[in-house]
Structure 1
């Protein structure tokens, strides 16, 4: 960890970070819920995917991106990435924020999802569809059992889903095969499941396909609206942080990779044309 550095103290935009494009599904819902705020979206597309990387590497990459957003004036950063939330959030909150700036905050997407899903299940059997990294981290079962020790969580890793989405193949017959395979495997592992969490920010683009394979009594929980409402509640309860977030209804997009590719691929996730800017993390 680097020594404590001087960061901008003035109010600034809310930072939204993801290893790639999936966090755009979170950003879209946050902007709908909180349209008046300024936002910076940072996608570490040059080093994606994070899901297959070790805890140490994900922590290092995530900390570099959070630090960059702090340097750009963000007082609050949301890790709109399940892998980063699972593998890096706690370390950054406990170890690094006191050194960087104890008044800044970094929030994740797992805790709000867990808090919401516990109230939705009737059978107390929940399914999780996520990347291999999120499944291996065991973060969702651990967080759920902190709040609901009687809930059974069954996880299914879906390693092909993100590549299919990021290559705009999620509407293809190939995607149908892999989605069906993973959903059927999850339901076979626990037939009592009545609620399924989409534990990756890419997966809302497959939500209709997933629902078409499920009985009507099984609910599908997507993270975007949950995280957006949780952030709104957080800002309402923490007025000292809310006052440190600027409100000009602006949004800037940054990528560590090709801005042309980012701008083009982002249209898969957002229904608007965007112009991205390149950023180096050095």
Structure 2
């Protein structure tokens, strides 16, 4: 246990570090704990039940470290676990604690990016199958058409360090071609996986003129700033010592640190988290 009250940031692996980086730029004074469940990653192809179980176990671990607020910086966990955690688990655990995701804040603004009112959503198999973006975007922008495309090989390419190699180009182009073939009027592509910003330059290289790709990091960070402004009781409960600690569920912390630096943009020194399974 730690005496401070950090913001917890959770992801199944490394992708959430791209969101963490943006949050840190917006809110540099807060304390943070990042937890990557790399021992059980990836989550993308797992069932709703399994993803909820894994996510809730990790959220509880972050609560035990003193975090009153946890951000699920993972689209798959947000799609398949967040609702149950918010509506059921927190009531039994501690109603004063909060768990937020990345889908709703993204859906709240993504419709503002499109002029044609047609958006493509690129994500993991789990996120796409959940239909979460279809539901949430329709709630905020009922006049926007949404087309979905699962990109199951993008995360393995990234986590194996192949995302900037020539071999990744084929799979980048393949999934872009598939989503754009669904409508000639798509002008905005949402990268609905926190890993995908590492492919952003390759994605842009294969996009026709007039089509933009949107990453989530800055969107989620700005939403968190707004949330804390609207909930001063949570803001006042958080500690402000400008500390960042990193944890992984695998005991090979050196391997985690190597890949984490690629996502976070600066060196990372992690410790092993003994999450109760």
Is residue 167 of structure 1 aligned with residue 160 of structure 2?
yes
The 1-side partners of 2:220 and 2:265 are apart by 20
**What RMSD over aligned residues (CA atoms) do the two structures have, in Å?**
1.2
The 2-side partners of 1:200 and 1:171 are apart by 17
The 2-side partners of 1:231 and 1:105 are apart by 12
Unaligned runs of 5+ in 2: none
Aligned residue for 1:71?
A: 64
1:226-281 per-position Cα deviation (integer Å, ceiling 9, x unaligned): 00000011111100000111100000000001211101111211222111000111
The 2-side partners of 1:250 and 1:190 are apart by 46
Aligned residues: 275
The 1-side partners of 2:13 and 2:184 are apart by 33
Q: Report if the CA contact (8 A) 1:132-1:157 is conserved.
A: yes
Is residue 251 of structure 1 aligned with residue 244 of structure 2?
yes
1:88-124 per-position Cα deviation (integer Å, ceiling 9, x unaligned): 0010000011111111100000011111111111111
Summarize the alignment of residues 65-104 of structure 1 with structure 2, pairs less than 5 Å apart.
Answer: 65-104=58-97
Q: What's the TM-score, normalizing by structure 2?
A: 0.97
SS at match of 1:183: helix
Q: What's the TM-score, normalizing by structure 1?
A: 0.95
1:66-89 per-position Cα deviation (integer Å, ceiling 9, x unaligned): 010001000000000000000000
1:119-175 per-position Cα deviation (integer Å, ceiling 9, x unaligned): 111111100111111000110001111112221111111011001101110011221
Structure 1 runs of 4+ with >4 Å offset: none
Q: Report if the CA contact (8 A) 1:11-1:75 is conserved.
A: no
Summarize the alignment of residues 11-50 of structure 1 with structure 2, pairs less than 5 Å apart.
Answer: 12-50=5-43
Flag the 1:147–1:79 CA change in 2: closer, same or farther, 3 A: same
Is residue 279 of structure 1 aligned with residue 273 of structure 2?
yes
Is residue 107 of structure 1 aligned with residue 82 of structure 2?
no
Q: Report if the CA contact (8 A) 2:119-2:186 is conserved.
A: yes
Q: Report if the CA contact (8 A) 2:248-2:272 is conserved.
A: yes
Unaligned runs of 5+ in 1: 1-6
